[in-house]
């Protein structure tokens, strides 16, 4: 059968979904200059394919412009159609970034960090997902036999991610039922978000080819663990020299790192609306789920919202190369661009305010009283999406990080998502999100 090879140009939207249009692959160079037509109201399509309240209506025109450097073209070698898509930016007709383009928003945040701190962000997104197996495996957490059962999927996925331009790291069967984790090597901030968007799509595609269905839902069972997205971050200076570590700094934090992390923690309760943006995300952000519940920086603590990760090097130069911190209050209902932009803006705000490095905890904060938490400057993160949205909405500093009009559109989108759920019980809500993600 005759075919015209097509490429899909994609944007990661407010729901963390990849949406776009396809066109002939032969036209990629031309489309990288002129784009394809896009509609403003598309940004208000929720994860449930319902259009939330929109200020745009049926009016307006935009361009979705491919970035040819992000082209993914994976041949699985089994005669099936290729995975061929490219990520892009949404622009006004005059070429200016559109106020609700998630990729452009991240670019602006990264530039702010570089202007204020003189550093560039290096990052890697660590993803957990589950397979919809019908009857979940029992007694296979971290086991070789559990891995062996999914070896074909694991090896195909690693090969596909390699073809998509990523340096693969590890694959493991995780603690939860039919839960797996895949990690890739760090890269510069924008490309790290690109890789996260691609990884989710490729994982779902590989799973389908293996007769499975992968879901990145934040939590599939209210009584069990959830699926997190942990973002590892570090800094390099203009010459590419590691700038995250200082042996004389508290817990090894350089001055830039300390102020950045203090900013993230100060504004964390206002940015989880972007990093954990689904209704069920807040079933996961509770104590003793190995996620995050307070705005604390932990040392080797997997229940801290921010964690200083261990290093294995024995020399100062090696430690400086390895030293990084991990953001743990996130999941894959979030656009990787919006999640990272919110974190970077919060950290840049810490630099702008010249905040002191935060203290490091090594304790269970859930055992402290509300009075003790307040006295030590700790805040319980929002316990529901409406609360998270309200904290962002009423934080004028956080709202100002984003383009004019963005906050109102984003809040309407998320409230439209919540309206669809209405009076569903938690178990049904989890099931709906598991199908969507």
**Amino acid 313: pLDDT:** 86
Task: Give yes or no: residues 39 and 123 share one domain.
Answer: no
Domain finish residue from 98, 116, 142: 98
Task: Give yes or no: residues 91 and 216 share one domain.
Answer: no
In this structure, what CATH number is given to the domain that contains residue 240? 3.30.590.10
In this structure, what CATH number is given to the domain that contains residue 48? 3.10.20.70
**3-class secondary-structure state, position 390:** helix
Task: Give yes or no: residues 314 and 385 share one domain.
Answer: yes
Question: How confident is the prediction along the chain (437 residues), in pLDDT tens digits per residue?
Answer: 899 999 999 999 999 999 999 999 999 999 999 999 999 999 999 999 999 999 999 999 999 999 999 999 999 998 889 999 999 999 999 999 999 999 999 999 999 999 999 999 999 999 999 998 766 677 888 999 989 999 999 999 999 999 999 999 999 999 989 999 999 999 999 999 999 999 999 999 999 999 999 999 999 999 888 999 999 999 999 999 999 999 999 999 999 999 999 999 999 999 999 999 999 999 999 988 888 999 999 987 888 999 999 999 889 999 999 999 999 999 999 999 999 999 999 999 999 999 999 999 888 888 888 888 888 889 899 999 999 999 999 999 999 999 999 999 999 999 999 999 998 999 999 999 999 99
Neighbours of 50 (CB within 10 A): 12
Identify whether 385 is part of a domain: yes
Identify whether 177 is part of a domain: yes
Identify whether 27 is part of a domain: yes
**Amino acid 367: pLDDT:** 86
Task: Give yes or no: residues 340 and 303 share one domain.
Answer: yes
**3-class secondary-structure state, position 229:** strand
Task: Give yes or no: residues 196 and 83 share one domain.
Answer: no
d(CA 262, CA 300): 18
Closest to 413 (Cα-Cα) out of 49, 45, 135, 134: 45
Identify whether 1 is part of a domain: no
Q: Where are the beta strands (DSSP E) in 386-429?
A: none
Which tokens hold the place of 87? 């990520």
Task: Give yes or no: residues 56 and 75 share one domain.
Answer: yes
Task: Give yes or no: residues 61 and 114 share one domain.
Answer: no
Task: Give yes or no: residues 218 and 94 share one domain.
Answer: no
Give pTM, 2 decimals: 0.96
Which tokens hold the place of 405? 């009009």
Integer angstrom CA distances of residue 382 from 48, 177, 301, 329, 340: 23, 27, 20, 11, 19
Domain finish residue from 73, 98, 123: 98
What contacts 330, CB < 8 A, 6 or more positions away?
Answer: 228, 229, 230, 231, 275, 276, 339
Task: Give yes or no: residues 79 and 156 share one domain.
Answer: no
Which tokens hold the place of 137? 């495996």
d(CA 241, CA 11): 32
**Amino acid 135: pLDDT:** 63
How many domains does the chain divide into?
A: 2
Q: Which range of residues forms the domain containing residue 393?
A: 104-436
User: Are 171 and 182 in contact, with CB atoms under 8 Å apart?
Assistant: yes
Find where tokens 């190369």 sit.
321
**Amino acid 140: pLDDT:** 86
Task: Give yes or no: residues 51 and 144 share one domain.
Answer: no
Identify whether 268 is part of a domain: yes
Task: Give yes or no: residues 29 and 144 share one domain.
Answer: no
3-state helix, strand, coil in the chain (%, to 5): 40, 20, 40
Task: Give yes or no: residues 158 and 296 share one domain.
Answer: yes
Query: CA dihedral in degrees (144, 145, 149, 153; nearest 10)?
Result: 0
Domain finish residue from 45, 68, 98: 98
d(CA 408, CA 145): 49
User: In angstroms, how far is CA 215 from the centroid of its own chain?
Assistant: 15
d(CA 60, CA 276): 30
Neighbours of 182 (CB within 10 A): 22
**Amino acid 136: pLDDT:** 67
């Amino acid at each position: 059968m005759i075919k015209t090879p097509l490429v899909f140009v994609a944007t990661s939207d407010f729901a963390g979904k990849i949406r776009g249009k396809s066109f002939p692959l032969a036209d990629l160079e031309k489309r990288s200059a002129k784009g394809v037509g896009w509609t403003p109201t598309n940004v208000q399509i929720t994860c449930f394919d319902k259009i939330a309240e929109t200020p745009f209506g049926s009016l307006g025109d935009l361009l979705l412009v491919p970035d040819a450097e992000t082209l993914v073209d994976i041949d699985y070698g089994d005669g099936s159609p290729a995975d061929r898509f490219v990520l892009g930016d949404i622009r006004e007709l005059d070429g200016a970034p559109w106020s609700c383009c998630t990729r452009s928003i991240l670019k602006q945040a990264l530039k702010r960090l570089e202007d204020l701190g003189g550093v560039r962000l290096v990052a890697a997104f660590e993803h957990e997902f589950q397979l919809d197996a019908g009857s979940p495996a029992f007694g296979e957490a971290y086991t070789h036999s559990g891995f062996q059962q999914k070896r074909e999927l694991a090896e195909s996925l690693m090969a596909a991610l390699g073809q998509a331009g990523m340096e693969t790291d590890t694959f493991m069967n995780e603690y939860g039922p039919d839960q797996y984790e895949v990690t890739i090597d760090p890269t510069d901030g924008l490309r790290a978000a690109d890789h996260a968007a691609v990884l989710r799509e490729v994982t779902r595609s590989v799973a389908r080819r293996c007769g499975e269905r992968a879901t990145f839902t934040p939590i599939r069972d209210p009584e069990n663990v959830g699926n997190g997205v942990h973002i590892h971050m570090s800094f390099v200076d203009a010459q590419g020299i590691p700038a995250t570590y200082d042996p004389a700094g508290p817990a090894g934090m350089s001055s830039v790192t300390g102020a950045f992390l203090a900013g993230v923690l100060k504004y964390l309760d206002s940015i989880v609306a972007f990093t954990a943006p689904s209704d069920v995300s807040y079933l996961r952000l509770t104590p003793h789920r190995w996620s995050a519940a307070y705005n604390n920086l932990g040392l080797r603590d997997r229940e801290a919202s921010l964690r200083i990760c261990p290093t294995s090097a024995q020399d100062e130069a090696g430690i400086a190369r390895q030293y990084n911190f991990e953001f743990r209050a996130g999941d894959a209902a979030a656009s990787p661009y919006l999640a990272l932009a919110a974190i970077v803006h919060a950290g840049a705000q810490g630099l702008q305010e010249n905040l002191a490095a935060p203290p490091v905890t090594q304790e269970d904060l859930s055992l402290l009283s509300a009075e003790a938490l307040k006295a030590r400057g700790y805040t319980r993160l929002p316990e529901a999406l409406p609360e998270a949205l309200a904290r962002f909405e009423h934080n004028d500093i956080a709202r100002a990080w984003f383009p004019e009009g963005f906050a109102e559109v984003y809040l309407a989108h998320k409230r439209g998502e919540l309206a669809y759920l209405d009076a569903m019980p938690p178990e049904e809500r989890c099931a709906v999100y598991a199908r969507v993600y």
